[in-house]
Copies of this chain bind each other. A is one copy, B any other.
Amino acid sequence: MIDDRSARQGVHLRVVGVSDSKSLVVASDVFTKEFNDNLLSEICRLKADHSSLSTLISGECQVFLDSDLRGKLSEIASLLGTSTGLAFVDCSASSETVEILTQAVDLGCCIVLANKKPLTSTKEDYDKLVSRPRRIRYESTVGAGLPVIASLNRILSSGDPVHRIVGSLSGTLGYVMSEVEDGKPLSQVVKAAKSLGYTEPDPRDDLSGMDVARKALILARLLGMRINIDSIKIESLYPEEMGPNIMSVEDFLSTGLPLLDNDIGERVRKASLNGNVLRYVCVIEGSRCTVGIQELPKNSPLGRLRGSDNVLEIYSRCYSEQPLVIQGAGAGNDTTAAGVLADILDIQDLFP
């Protein structure tokens, strides 16, 4: 939670509380006090050590646990919500924050999300979260700090209708597809990506396409599509019988994955004969939203993509033949944090 009354220039952000899944630490007086740099560093150290926030010992803040946690959050939201630029910031990956976020919205608070789950929940939850559209920002949910949502919002608010979005929104799958294009076997590429730290601990979390589908849903809903995650056709790069409930990560990497090499290799070769390449993309067009491998011209922004950059092509009335293209690093702690911070500062415009 960050409260700030000052203008963008000479800005001073006050951190008045930090929460993990089980505990909340709050400044002794949320109206005047704030967490200083020492306390914030100590909090980062604790979490890096996988410790609970409740083990924090400091005279400058109070700790709330379990049932007291939600009550205290509501209290702070009521006290600071409508009158200050208080922002509830959700950088978790939890689907359990929706309730407290919608409550904060109801109390007039601003919310800033790097967490995709609340925005990809039911239509009802989504409608509640965006019910005050000026009071929510979620740039870092798609392409980390890349100005994707901000740019789409500008295009839409100017009345320019967006009719097609094509994007490569997973750095991991971007890397995998461009390595496979060079003739390397999928199994080798995924193992290399894992050892480089490009994938989740279980690479199937990337290969399933679910993370890309969530990003696609966020963009589709921004365009006004009334759909849920299960309306999206998602192509998984592994078959159900190699799923996490059936195979361990080790078995998947050593036994399962190599069985997929030939099929992908064959698709790459076929595409190449047409002068095309394979990319794992999301396509949003009309009422349709799909996520999976597409054959694309080698000589297009997406076809030229190499490595782990994200790319988004936006087609609208103004950008009809040649798209508006946004490209750059779409993952990483620094860019994600920068996107969250820019969102928090942007919201301060609402509080003169």
| Contacts from A to B (Cβ < 8 Å) | 7-9, 11, 133-134, 139, 145-147, 150-151, 154-155, 157-160, 301, 304, 307, 309, 317-319, 322-329, 332, 334-335, 337-339, 341-342, 345-346, 349-350, 352
Contact = CB atoms under 8 A, between A and B. Distances in A.
A313 to B, nearest CB: 9
A328 B335 contact: no
A346 B327 CA distance: 23
B318 A324 contact: no
A345 B345 CA distance: 18
Residue of A11, A319, A323 with most partner-chain B CB within 10 A: A319
A322 B318 contact: no
Given A9-B133, A146-B324, A159-B341, 20 more contacts: A8-B134, A8-B157, A145-B158, A147-B326, A150-B150, A154-B339, A154-B342, A155-B342, A157-B341, A157-B345, A158-B337, A158-B342, A301-B327, A318-B329, A318-B335, A319-B335, A325-B326, A325-B328, A327-B327, A350-B352
A120 to B, nearest CB: 22
Contacts of A325: 325-328
B329 A322 contact: yes
B322 A134 contact: no
B318 A323 contact: no
Contacts of A335: 318-319
A328 B319 contact: yes
B319 A329 contact: yes
Contacts of A345: 157-158
A167 to B, nearest CB: 14
22 contacts: A8-B134, A139-B154, A145-B154, A147-B151, A150-B150, A151-B151, A154-B342, A157-B342, A157-B346, A158-B337, A158-B342, A158-B345, A159-B341, A160-B334, A307-B322, A317-B334, A318-B332, A319-B328, A322-B328, A324-B327, A349-B349, A349-B350
A86 to B, nearest CB: 15
Nearest to A133: B9
